[in-house]
Amino acid sequence: METTQDFHAHFKIDWGRQGSVIIGYIVIILGYYGIIANTMLFDQYGNWISFVDMDRTILIWTYTTFTHSFFLSPLLLFLVCVFLTYKEDIPHYGIRASIWLVPILVIEGFIFYFSMFGLNLEPFNLQFAHIEGYLNILILIGLTLSGSLIGMKLKKWSIRKKEKYYETNK
């Protein structure tokens, strides 16, 4: 008697959910520090500043660049968090995905610092030994949570609006 079994690994990815999270993360990874770099690496005359001459703390304390970048980087972070939470059927998944952006941004700042200025302990000193580092983390958490909560409220509002529409058109 011959027994053959086909083992098929059915690995399915719901690109509607994971795809939006991945796209949101890519937008933040490229856009957040991209906006900061494009607005902070020019002097008052419009001349490009080399990264060795720039203020090294802007990679760790990103909140200090918000006014110079016309609040575009925090607005990008806020809107991506709204999108991540609005897209989810269960808002807690979007809130969780948004909160994960904070350590990603902190680690990305460390990676940029290390790649530009070499391996040293200065980013850890700036992030964890100064009050500005903790203030940066609190501001990032505040931006992500407020964006997530707005996304959750928008989702609930749109669901209520759709339900009201369908009730009146029965």
pLDDT digits (tens, 9 = 90+) for 124-160: 999 999 999 999 999 999 999 999 999 999 999 999 9
Structural domain boundaries in the chain: 18-168
122 vs 55, residue with greater confidence: 122
Specify whether the CB–CB gap between 81 and 148 falls below 8 A: yes
CA atoms within 13 A on the CB side of 136: 25
For a pLDDT cut of 90, what percent of the chain falls above it? 60
Which pLDDT tens digit goes with each residue over 65-112? 999 889 999 999 999 999 999 998 889 999 999 999 999 999 999 999
- 3-state DSSP assignment of residue 31: helix
Confidence (pTM): 0.84
Mean pLDDT (the chain) is: 88
Q: What is the pLDDT of residue 48?
A: 86
Q: Which is nearest to 20 in space by CA: 157, 151, 164, 110? A: 151
At 18, the pLDDT band (50, 70, 90 cuts) reads: confident
